[in-house]
Chains A and B, each alone.
Chain A
Amino acid sequence: MYYLDHGATSFPKPEQVTRAVLRAMEACANPGRGSHPPAELAAEGVFSCRCAAGELFSCLPEQVVFTQNCTQGLNIAIRTLVRPGDRVVISGFEHNAVTRPLHGLGARITVAGRRLFDPADTLRQFRNALNRGAKAAVFTHVSNVFGYVLPVEEMAAECRRRRIPFVIDAAQSAGVLPIDAKALGADFIAMPGHKGLLGPMGTGILICNRLPKPLIMGGTGSESERQEMPDLLPDRAEAGTLNVPGILGLEAGLRRIQEVGPERIKAREQALLSGFASVLRDAGMEVFAGKNQVGALSFRPGCDCQEGAARLAGQGFALRAGLHCAPLAHRSAGTLETGTIRLSVGMDTPEEAVQALGRAVQTSLPPYKY
Protein backbone atom coordinates (compact mmCIF):
# COMPACT_ATOMS: atom_id res chain seq x y z
CA MET A 1 0.00 0.00 0.00
CA TYR A 2 1.11 3.57 -0.69
CA TYR A 3 0.14 5.58 2.35
CA LEU A 4 -0.65 9.13 1.29
CA ASP A 5 -2.69 10.25 4.29
CA HIS A 6 -0.02 11.76 6.52
CA GLY A 7 -2.24 14.81 6.98
CA ALA A 8 -4.50 12.58 9.08
CA THR A 9 -1.67 10.85 10.92
CA SER A 10 1.87 9.85 10.00
CA PHE A 11 2.11 6.15 9.26
CA PRO A 12 3.91 3.88 9.78
CA LYS A 13 5.67 5.35 12.78
CA PRO A 14 9.47 5.16 12.99
CA GLU A 15 10.69 2.05 14.76
CA GLN A 16 12.20 4.08 17.59
CA VAL A 17 8.76 5.54 18.36
CA THR A 18 7.19 2.10 18.73
CA ARG A 19 10.11 0.96 20.89
CA ALA A 20 9.80 3.99 23.17
CA VAL A 21 6.07 3.36 23.67
CA LEU A 22 6.74 -0.28 24.55
CA ARG A 23 9.53 0.66 26.94
CA ALA A 24 7.22 3.09 28.72
CA MET A 25 4.52 0.42 29.00
CA GLU A 26 7.02 -1.95 30.56
CA ALA A 27 8.92 0.38 32.87
CA CYS A 28 7.00 3.55 33.69
CA ALA A 29 4.51 4.39 36.43
CA ASN A 30 2.73 7.69 37.02
CA PRO A 31 5.11 10.66 36.76
CA GLY A 32 5.04 13.39 39.34
CA ARG A 33 3.03 11.37 41.82
CA GLY A 34 5.21 8.79 43.59
CA SER A 35 8.89 8.98 44.46
CA HIS A 36 9.73 5.40 43.50
CA PRO A 37 11.93 4.43 40.52
CA PRO A 38 9.13 3.65 37.97
CA ALA A 39 7.50 7.03 38.70
CA GLU A 40 10.85 8.81 38.53
CA LEU A 41 11.68 7.12 35.23
CA ALA A 42 8.37 8.32 33.78
CA ALA A 43 8.98 11.84 35.07
CA GLU A 44 12.43 11.90 33.47
CA GLY A 45 10.95 10.75 30.16
CA VAL A 46 8.21 13.38 30.23
CA PHE A 47 10.71 16.11 31.04
CA SER A 48 13.02 14.91 28.31
CA CYS A 49 10.17 15.22 25.81
CA ARG A 50 9.43 18.76 27.02
CA CYS A 51 13.10 19.60 26.46
CA ALA A 52 13.12 18.08 22.96
CA ALA A 53 10.03 20.11 22.02
CA GLY A 54 11.53 23.21 23.60
CA GLU A 55 14.68 22.80 21.50
CA LEU A 56 12.73 22.27 18.28
CA PHE A 57 10.31 25.15 18.82
CA SER A 58 12.50 27.62 20.75
CA CYS A 59 10.66 27.75 24.05
CA LEU A 60 11.24 26.73 27.66
CA PRO A 61 10.35 23.17 28.68
CA GLU A 62 7.57 24.37 31.01
CA GLN A 63 5.90 26.20 28.13
CA VAL A 64 5.27 22.80 26.54
CA VAL A 65 1.85 21.55 27.65
CA PHE A 66 0.92 18.01 26.64
CA THR A 67 -2.53 17.55 25.16
CA GLN A 68 -4.43 14.67 23.58
CA ASN A 69 -4.29 16.25 20.14
CA CYS A 70 -4.13 19.59 18.37
CA THR A 71 -7.87 20.14 18.79
CA GLN A 72 -7.61 20.04 22.57
CA GLY A 73 -4.79 22.57 22.48
CA LEU A 74 -6.81 24.88 20.23
CA ASN A 75 -9.79 24.60 22.56
CA ILE A 76 -7.66 25.57 25.56
CA ALA A 77 -6.16 28.50 23.66
CA ILE A 78 -9.46 29.77 22.28
CA ARG A 79 -11.26 29.46 25.60
CA THR A 80 -8.46 31.40 27.25
CA LEU A 81 -8.59 34.31 24.83
CA VAL A 82 -12.17 34.56 23.59
CA ARG A 83 -15.39 35.53 25.38
CA PRO A 84 -18.93 35.37 23.96
CA GLY A 85 -19.50 38.21 21.51
CA ASP A 86 -15.79 38.91 20.95
CA ARG A 87 -14.73 39.67 17.41
CA VAL A 88 -12.14 37.16 16.24
CA VAL A 89 -10.25 37.24 12.94
CA ILE A 90 -9.47 33.91 11.27
CA SER A 91 -8.11 32.91 7.88
CA GLY A 92 -10.25 31.40 5.15
CA PHE A 93 -8.55 28.04 5.57
CA GLU A 94 -9.37 27.09 9.14
CA HIS A 95 -10.27 23.62 10.33
CA ASN A 96 -13.39 22.87 12.37
CA ALA A 97 -11.02 22.57 15.37
CA VAL A 98 -10.86 26.37 15.20
CA THR A 99 -14.28 27.34 13.87
CA ARG A 100 -16.40 25.07 16.06
CA PRO A 101 -14.97 26.25 19.40
CA LEU A 102 -15.37 29.86 18.23
CA HIS A 103 -18.92 29.19 17.09
CA GLY A 104 -19.66 27.38 20.38
CA LEU A 105 -18.43 30.36 22.35
CA GLY A 106 -20.62 32.75 20.38
CA ALA A 107 -17.69 34.70 18.96
CA ARG A 108 -18.23 37.11 16.06
CA ILE A 109 -16.02 35.60 13.38
CA THR A 110 -14.40 37.61 10.60
CA VAL A 111 -12.90 35.50 7.84
CA ALA A 112 -9.95 37.19 6.15
CA GLY A 113 -7.97 35.93 3.17
CA ARG A 114 -9.70 33.34 1.04
CA ARG A 115 -7.52 33.20 -2.07
CA LEU A 116 -5.50 30.01 -2.37
CA PHE A 117 -1.71 30.25 -2.71
CA ASP A 118 -1.79 34.03 -2.53
CA PRO A 119 0.08 35.06 0.63
CA ALA A 120 0.08 38.74 -0.35
CA ASP A 121 -3.72 38.74 -0.55
CA THR A 122 -4.00 36.73 2.68
CA LEU A 123 -1.84 39.26 4.49
CA ARG A 124 -3.67 42.27 3.01
CA GLN A 125 -7.11 40.93 3.95
CA PHE A 126 -5.87 39.90 7.39
CA ARG A 127 -4.40 43.34 8.04
CA ASN A 128 -7.65 45.03 6.93
CA ALA A 129 -9.67 42.81 9.23
CA LEU A 130 -7.40 43.56 12.20
CA ASN A 131 -7.72 47.27 11.47
CA ARG A 132 -11.46 47.00 12.07
CA GLY A 133 -10.66 45.82 15.61
CA ALA A 134 -10.40 42.32 17.08
CA LYS A 135 -10.14 40.70 20.49
CA ALA A 136 -8.08 37.83 19.10
CA ALA A 137 -6.87 36.17 15.92
CA VAL A 138 -6.55 32.48 15.13
CA PHE A 139 -4.89 31.21 11.99
CA THR A 140 -3.48 28.05 10.56
CA HIS A 141 0.12 27.76 9.42
CA VAL A 142 -0.71 25.31 6.62
CA SER A 143 -4.12 24.43 5.17
CA ASN A 144 -4.92 20.80 5.93
CA VAL A 145 -6.83 20.52 2.64
CA PHE A 146 -4.59 22.31 0.16
CA GLY A 147 -1.19 22.48 1.83
CA TYR A 148 -1.21 26.26 1.35
CA VAL A 149 1.46 27.83 3.59
CA LEU A 150 0.06 31.03 5.05
CA PRO A 151 2.41 33.96 5.73
CA VAL A 152 2.31 33.35 9.49
CA GLU A 153 5.45 35.31 10.36
CA GLU A 154 3.96 38.46 8.82
CA MET A 155 0.49 37.76 10.26
CA ALA A 156 2.08 37.30 13.69
CA ALA A 157 3.91 40.61 13.31
CA GLU A 158 0.64 42.39 12.45
CA CYS A 159 -0.96 40.99 15.61
CA ARG A 160 2.02 41.87 17.78
CA ARG A 161 2.06 45.42 16.43
CA ARG A 162 -1.59 45.88 17.42
CA ARG A 163 -1.22 43.90 20.66
CA ILE A 164 -3.94 41.51 19.57
CA PRO A 165 -3.52 38.09 21.19
CA PHE A 166 -3.24 35.29 18.65
CA VAL A 167 -3.14 31.53 18.24
CA ILE A 168 -1.37 29.55 15.52
CA ASP A 169 -2.71 26.18 14.45
CA ALA A 170 0.41 24.22 13.51
CA ALA A 171 -1.45 20.97 12.82
CA GLN A 172 0.12 20.45 9.41
CA SER A 173 3.36 22.36 9.82
CA ALA A 174 4.94 21.08 13.05
CA GLY A 175 7.85 18.88 12.08
CA VAL A 176 7.84 20.08 8.48
CA LEU A 177 8.33 23.84 8.65
CA PRO A 178 10.54 25.67 11.15
CA ILE A 179 8.50 27.09 14.04
CA ASP A 180 10.20 29.57 16.34
CA ALA A 181 7.80 30.22 19.21
CA LYS A 182 9.96 32.97 20.65
CA ALA A 183 10.20 34.90 17.39
CA LEU A 184 6.54 34.43 16.48
CA GLY A 185 5.41 35.65 19.89
CA ALA A 186 2.07 33.83 19.63
CA ASP A 187 0.06 33.51 22.82
CA PHE A 188 -0.44 29.86 21.93
CA ILE A 189 0.76 27.45 19.26
CA ALA A 190 -1.17 24.18 19.05
CA MET A 191 0.06 21.08 17.27
CA PRO A 192 -0.63 17.35 17.13
CA GLY A 193 2.04 14.91 18.25
CA HIS A 194 1.00 12.21 15.80
CA LYS A 195 1.34 13.91 12.42
CA GLY A 196 4.56 15.62 11.36
CA LEU A 197 6.09 15.04 14.79
CA LEU A 198 5.81 11.28 14.20
CA GLY A 199 4.49 10.41 17.67
CA PRO A 200 1.60 8.12 18.59
CA MET A 201 -2.02 9.14 18.16
CA GLY A 202 -3.50 10.66 21.29
CA THR A 203 -0.60 13.09 21.73
CA GLY A 204 -0.36 16.82 21.15
CA ILE A 205 1.48 19.92 22.30
CA LEU A 206 0.28 23.37 23.21
CA ILE A 207 3.09 25.91 23.46
CA CYS A 208 1.95 28.53 25.94
CA ASN A 209 3.29 32.03 26.03
CA ARG A 210 0.75 32.98 28.68
CA LEU A 211 -1.13 31.21 31.45
CA PRO A 212 -4.02 29.24 29.93
CA LYS A 213 -7.50 28.81 31.29
CA PRO A 214 -7.70 25.10 32.14
CA LEU A 215 -10.13 23.06 30.06
CA ILE A 216 -10.31 20.42 32.78
CA MET A 217 -9.33 20.60 36.43
CA GLY A 218 -7.97 18.02 38.81
CA GLY A 219 -4.80 16.57 40.27
CA THR A 220 -1.44 17.81 39.09
CA GLY A 221 0.86 16.33 41.74
CA SER A 222 1.65 19.88 42.88
CA GLU A 223 0.23 22.32 45.46
CA SER A 224 -2.40 19.72 46.34
CA GLU A 225 -3.76 21.56 49.36
CA ARG A 226 -5.05 24.42 47.22
CA GLN A 227 -8.39 24.02 45.47
CA GLU A 228 -7.51 26.36 42.60
CA MET A 229 -5.50 24.96 39.72
CA PRO A 230 -1.82 25.98 40.09
CA ASP A 231 -1.08 29.27 38.37
CA LEU A 232 2.03 27.92 36.71
CA LEU A 233 2.98 26.06 33.56
CA PRO A 234 2.62 23.30 32.58
CA ASP A 235 0.61 22.11 35.60
CA ARG A 236 -2.30 24.49 35.06
CA ALA A 237 -3.31 22.79 31.82
CA GLU A 238 -2.28 19.22 32.61
CA ALA A 239 -4.80 17.91 35.13
CA GLY A 240 -4.90 14.14 35.51
CA THR A 241 -2.55 11.39 34.48
CA LEU A 242 -0.47 12.09 31.40
CA ASN A 243 -0.26 9.78 28.40
CA VAL A 244 3.26 8.64 29.33
CA PRO A 245 3.68 5.95 26.63
CA GLY A 246 2.46 8.46 24.06
CA ILE A 247 4.73 11.22 25.32
CA LEU A 248 7.80 8.97 25.35
CA GLY A 249 6.92 7.87 21.82
CA LEU A 250 6.52 11.51 20.86
CA GLU A 251 9.97 12.28 22.20
CA ALA A 252 11.42 9.59 19.93
CA GLY A 253 9.58 11.23 17.02
CA LEU A 254 10.93 14.67 17.93
CA ARG A 255 14.48 13.31 18.13
CA ARG A 256 14.03 11.72 14.70
CA ILE A 257 13.00 15.07 13.25
CA GLN A 258 15.97 16.80 14.88
CA GLU A 259 18.18 14.11 13.36
CA VAL A 260 16.88 14.63 9.81
CA GLY A 261 16.16 18.37 10.09
CA PRO A 262 12.86 20.11 9.21
CA GLU A 263 14.48 21.91 6.27
CA ARG A 264 15.40 18.60 4.61
CA ILE A 265 11.96 17.18 5.35
CA LYS A 266 10.31 20.22 3.80
CA ALA A 267 12.48 20.10 0.66
CA ARG A 268 11.75 16.42 0.14
CA GLU A 269 8.01 16.80 0.68
CA GLN A 270 7.83 19.76 -1.70
CA ALA A 271 9.66 17.82 -4.39
CA LEU A 272 7.23 14.92 -3.97
CA LEU A 273 4.19 17.24 -4.14
CA SER A 274 5.48 18.82 -7.30
CA GLY A 275 5.83 15.35 -8.86
CA PHE A 276 2.31 14.37 -7.78
CA ALA A 277 0.87 17.61 -9.18
CA SER A 278 2.49 16.92 -12.52
CA VAL A 279 1.27 13.32 -12.93
CA LEU A 280 -2.24 14.22 -11.76
CA ARG A 281 -2.47 17.05 -14.29
CA ASP A 282 -1.25 14.67 -16.99
CA ALA A 283 -4.08 12.33 -16.01
CA GLY A 284 -6.61 15.11 -16.53
CA MET A 285 -7.36 15.92 -12.88
CA GLU A 286 -8.07 19.41 -11.60
CA VAL A 287 -5.08 20.01 -9.35
CA PHE A 288 -4.81 22.63 -6.62
CA ALA A 289 -1.12 23.42 -6.51
CA GLY A 290 0.92 26.52 -5.89
CA LYS A 291 4.27 27.91 -4.92
CA ASN A 292 3.55 28.17 -1.20
CA GLN A 293 2.60 24.57 -0.60
CA VAL A 294 3.75 21.83 1.71
CA GLY A 295 2.53 18.42 2.87
CA ALA A 296 -0.86 18.18 1.17
CA LEU A 297 -2.35 18.50 -2.28
CA SER A 298 -6.00 18.33 -3.34
CA PHE A 299 -7.42 17.30 -6.69
CA ARG A 300 -10.76 16.63 -8.31
CA PRO A 301 -11.54 13.87 -10.82
CA GLY A 302 -14.47 13.72 -13.18
CA CYS A 303 -16.41 11.60 -10.70
CA ASP A 304 -17.51 11.86 -7.08
CA CYS A 305 -14.48 12.36 -4.82
CA GLN A 306 -15.44 9.65 -2.35
CA GLU A 307 -16.01 7.22 -5.19
CA GLY A 308 -12.65 8.19 -6.69
CA ALA A 309 -10.79 7.71 -3.41
CA ALA A 310 -12.49 4.34 -2.93
CA ARG A 311 -11.33 3.20 -6.39
CA LEU A 312 -7.78 4.26 -5.56
CA ALA A 313 -7.96 2.51 -2.19
CA GLY A 314 -8.87 -0.64 -4.10
CA GLN A 315 -5.59 -0.27 -5.96
CA GLY A 316 -3.52 0.22 -2.83
CA PHE A 317 -3.49 4.00 -2.37
CA ALA A 318 -4.51 5.47 0.98
CA LEU A 319 -5.90 8.97 0.41
CA ARG A 320 -8.68 10.97 2.00
CA ALA A 321 -11.67 12.45 0.20
CA GLY A 322 -14.48 14.78 1.27
CA LEU A 323 -14.35 18.02 3.22
CA HIS A 324 -11.45 17.08 5.54
CA CYS A 325 -13.23 18.69 8.54
CA ALA A 326 -12.53 22.04 6.93
CA PRO A 327 -15.68 23.26 5.13
CA LEU A 328 -14.43 26.84 5.42
CA ALA A 329 -11.30 26.02 3.40
CA HIS A 330 -13.43 24.30 0.75
CA ARG A 331 -15.81 27.24 0.63
CA SER A 332 -12.82 29.56 0.13
CA ALA A 333 -11.50 27.44 -2.73
CA GLY A 334 -14.91 26.83 -4.32
CA THR A 335 -14.88 23.09 -3.66
CA LEU A 336 -17.51 22.86 -0.91
CA GLU A 337 -20.12 21.19 -3.14
CA THR A 338 -17.85 18.44 -4.43
CA GLY A 339 -15.10 18.12 -1.85
CA THR A 340 -11.68 17.01 -3.08
CA ILE A 341 -9.37 14.03 -2.90
CA ARG A 342 -6.38 14.93 -0.76
CA LEU A 343 -3.03 13.28 -0.83
CA SER A 344 -0.57 14.13 1.91
CA VAL A 345 3.02 13.02 2.10
CA GLY A 346 5.45 12.24 4.89
CA MET A 347 9.20 12.25 5.26
CA ASP A 348 9.44 8.59 4.21
CA THR A 349 6.96 8.58 1.32
CA PRO A 350 8.75 6.66 -1.46
CA GLU A 351 9.41 8.47 -4.73
CA GLU A 352 7.99 5.59 -6.75
CA ALA A 353 4.54 6.47 -5.29
CA VAL A 354 4.38 9.44 -7.65
CA GLN A 355 4.44 7.46 -10.91
CA ALA A 356 2.40 4.64 -9.40
CA LEU A 357 -0.40 7.03 -8.44
CA GLY A 358 -0.21 8.69 -11.83
CA ARG A 359 -0.77 5.32 -13.55
CA ALA A 360 -3.59 4.35 -11.19
CA VAL A 361 -5.41 7.66 -11.66
CA GLN A 362 -4.96 7.50 -15.43
CA THR A 363 -6.62 4.08 -15.62
CA SER A 364 -9.30 4.37 -12.95
CA LEU A 365 -10.54 7.97 -12.71
CA PRO A 366 -12.27 9.99 -15.43
CA PRO A 367 -10.70 13.37 -16.18
CA TYR A 368 -12.20 16.43 -14.53
CA LYS A 369 -14.81 18.25 -16.62
CA TYR A 370 -14.08 21.96 -16.59
Chain B
Amino acid sequence: MKSYLITFRSITYGQRAEQTLRALGKKSRLRRTPRWMEDRGCGYALEVTTGEVSELLAVLRQQQIPWRKVWLARPGGEMEELSNVLP
Protein backbone atom coordinates (compact mmCIF):
# COMPACT_ATOMS: atom_id res chain seq x y z
CA MET B 1 0.00 0.00 0.00
CA LYS B 2 1.23 3.45 -0.88
CA SER B 3 0.08 6.96 0.02
CA TYR B 4 -0.92 9.38 -2.73
CA LEU B 5 -2.07 12.94 -3.05
CA ILE B 6 -4.47 13.59 -5.94
CA THR B 7 -4.93 17.30 -6.62
CA PHE B 8 -8.02 19.06 -8.00
CA ARG B 9 -8.77 22.50 -9.37
CA SER B 10 -11.84 23.05 -7.20
CA ILE B 11 -13.25 21.94 -3.89
CA THR B 12 -16.34 20.53 -5.66
CA TYR B 13 -14.26 18.15 -7.78
CA GLY B 14 -12.33 17.12 -4.66
CA GLN B 15 -15.55 16.53 -2.76
CA ARG B 16 -17.04 14.47 -5.55
CA ALA B 17 -13.86 12.41 -5.75
CA GLU B 18 -13.98 11.82 -2.01
CA GLN B 19 -17.64 10.78 -2.28
CA THR B 20 -16.87 8.44 -5.20
CA LEU B 21 -14.00 6.75 -3.38
CA ARG B 22 -16.12 6.43 -0.24
CA ALA B 23 -18.74 4.57 -2.29
CA LEU B 24 -15.98 2.12 -3.23
CA GLY B 25 -15.14 1.64 0.44
CA LYS B 26 -11.94 3.63 0.07
CA LYS B 27 -11.21 6.13 2.83
CA SER B 28 -9.62 9.41 1.83
CA ARG B 29 -9.16 12.90 3.28
CA LEU B 30 -9.77 16.16 1.46
CA ARG B 31 -7.35 18.96 2.29
CA ARG B 32 -5.86 22.10 0.79
CA THR B 33 -3.08 21.39 -1.69
CA PRO B 34 0.34 22.34 -0.26
CA ARG B 35 1.24 25.73 -1.70
CA TRP B 36 4.47 24.53 -3.30
CA MET B 37 2.60 21.93 -5.34
CA GLU B 38 0.07 24.31 -6.81
CA ASP B 39 1.25 26.60 -9.61
CA ARG B 40 -2.17 28.28 -10.05
CA GLY B 41 -2.72 29.25 -6.42
CA CYS B 42 -5.19 27.56 -4.10
CA GLY B 43 -6.39 24.04 -4.83
CA TYR B 44 -7.61 20.91 -3.13
CA ALA B 45 -6.09 17.48 -2.71
CA LEU B 46 -7.26 14.06 -1.67
CA GLU B 47 -4.98 11.96 0.53
CA VAL B 48 -5.51 8.30 -0.15
CA THR B 49 -3.71 5.07 0.62
CA THR B 50 -4.13 2.38 -1.97
CA GLY B 51 -2.42 -0.46 -3.79
CA GLU B 52 -2.86 0.72 -7.37
CA VAL B 53 -3.64 4.40 -7.87
CA SER B 54 -4.37 4.00 -11.57
CA GLU B 55 -7.47 1.96 -10.69
CA LEU B 56 -8.82 4.81 -8.60
CA LEU B 57 -8.01 7.29 -11.33
CA ALA B 58 -9.90 5.17 -13.84
CA VAL B 59 -12.97 5.38 -11.62
CA LEU B 60 -12.61 9.17 -11.34
CA ARG B 61 -12.29 9.43 -15.11
CA GLN B 62 -15.41 7.31 -15.52
CA GLN B 63 -17.27 9.63 -13.14
CA GLN B 64 -16.07 12.70 -15.11
CA ILE B 65 -14.03 14.05 -12.23
CA PRO B 66 -10.92 15.74 -13.62
CA TRP B 67 -7.83 15.76 -11.41
CA ARG B 68 -4.76 17.87 -11.88
CA LYS B 69 -1.79 15.94 -10.60
CA VAL B 70 -0.93 12.80 -8.69
CA TRP B 71 1.85 12.69 -6.12
CA LEU B 72 3.36 9.66 -4.44
CA ALA B 73 4.50 10.00 -0.82
CA ARG B 74 7.96 8.47 -0.52
CA PRO B 75 9.13 7.00 2.78
CA GLY B 76 10.62 9.89 4.69
CA GLY B 77 7.98 12.36 3.48
CA GLU B 78 9.36 13.30 0.07
CA MET B 79 6.69 13.74 -2.63
CA GLU B 80 7.18 12.54 -6.18
CA GLU B 81 4.97 13.71 -9.02
CA LEU B 82 3.72 10.85 -11.17
CA SER B 83 3.52 12.01 -14.74
CA ASN B 84 2.45 8.68 -16.26
CA VAL B 85 -1.04 8.79 -14.68
CA LEU B 86 -2.04 12.27 -15.86
CA PRO B 87 -5.46 12.48 -17.59
Q: Distance in Å from the Cβ of A363 to the closest Cβ of chain B?
A: 55
**9-residue interface stretch from B12-20, B53-61, B70-78, B79-87:** B12-20
Q: Distance in Å from the Cβ of A352 to the closest Cβ of chain B?
A: 44
Among A35, A62, A230, contact of B16 (Cβ-Cβ < 8 Å)? A62
Q: Are A232 and B64 in contact (CB under 8 A)?
A: no
Task: List the B residue with the shortest CB-CB distance to A223.
Answer: B40
Q: Are B10 and A35 in contact (CB under 8 A)?
A: no
Q: Are A235 and B10 in contact (CB under 8 A)?
A: yes
Q: Are A222 and B10 in contact (CB under 8 A)?
A: yes
Q: Are B31 and A43 in contact (CB under 8 A)?
A: no
Among B31, B39, B42, B64, contact of A60 (Cβ-Cβ < 8 Å)? B64
Residue A26 interfacial (CB < 8 Å)? no
- Enumerate chain B residues within 8 angstroms of A223, measured Cβ to Cβ: 9, 40-43
- Taking CB atoms and an 8 Å cut-off, the chain A residues in 335-355 that contact chain B are none
- Enumerate chain A residues within 8 angstroms of B41, measured Cβ to Cβ: 222-226
Q: Are A43 and B10 in contact (CB under 8 A)?
A: no
Q: Are B12 and A61 in contact (CB under 8 A)?
A: yes
Q: Are B12 and A62 in contact (CB under 8 A)?
A: yes
Residue A6 interfacial (CB < 8 Å)? no
Q: Distance in Å from the Cβ of A207 to the closest Cβ of chain B?
A: 14
Task: List the A residue with the shortest CB-CB distance to B18.
Answer: A47
Tell me whether chain A's interface is mostly helix, strand or loop, or mixed.
Answer: loop
Most buried by B among A35, A47, A233, A235: A47
Q: Are B15 and A47 in contact (CB under 8 A)?
A: yes
- Enumerate chain B residues within 8 angstroms of A62, measured Cβ to Cβ: 10, 12-13, 16
Residue A234 interfacial (CB < 8 Å)? yes
Residue B11 interfacial (CB < 8 Å)? yes
Known: A230-B9, A230-B10, A232-B10. A61 touches B16 (CB 8 A): yes
Q: Distance in Å from the Cβ of A219 to the closest Cβ of chain B?
A: 9
Residue B32 interfacial (CB < 8 Å)? yes
Q: Distance in Å from the Cβ of A255 to the closest Cβ of chain B?
A: 17
- Taking CB atoms and an 8 Å cut-off, the chain A residues in 4-57 that contact chain B are 31-32, 35, 43-44, 47, 50-51
Q: Distance in Å from the Cβ of B61 to the closest Cβ of chain A?
A: 14
Q: Distance in Å from the Cβ of A110 to the closest Cβ of chain B?
A: 36
Residue A106 interfacial (CB < 8 Å)? no
Contact mask for chain A residues 225-244; partner B; CB cutoff 8 A; 1 contact, 0 none: 11000101111000000000
Known: A35-B31, A35-B32, A60-B64. A234 touches B12 (CB 8 A): yes
- Enumerate chain A residues within 8 angstroms of B42, measured Cβ to Cβ: 221-224
- Enumerate chain A residues within 8 angstroms of B10, measured Cβ to Cβ: 62, 220, 222, 230, 232, 234-235
Q: Are B12 and A221 in contact (CB under 8 A)?
A: no
- Enumerate chain A residues within 8 angstroms of B9, measured Cβ to Cβ: 222-223, 230, 232
Q: Are B11 and A50 in contact (CB under 8 A)?
A: no
* Distance of A223 Cα from B10 Cα, bound (Å): 8
- Enumerate chain A residues within 8 angstroms of B31, measured Cβ to Cβ: 35
- Taking CB atoms and an 8 Å cut-off, the chain B residues in 15-66 that contact chain A are 15-16, 19, 31-32, 39-44, 64
- Identify the B interface with A (CB < 8 A): 9-13, 15-16, 19, 31-32, 39-44, 64
* Interchain residue pairs A-B with the least CB separation, the first 8: A224-B41, A225-B41, A223-B40, A47-B15, A32-B11, A224-B42, A62-B12, A222-B10
Taking A32-B11, A62-B13, A232-B10 as given, write out 9 further A-B residue pairs in contact, using a Cβ cutoff of 8 Å, ordered by the A residue number.
A43-B15, A51-B19, A222-B42, A222-B44, A223-B9, A223-B41, A223-B43, A224-B42, A235-B12
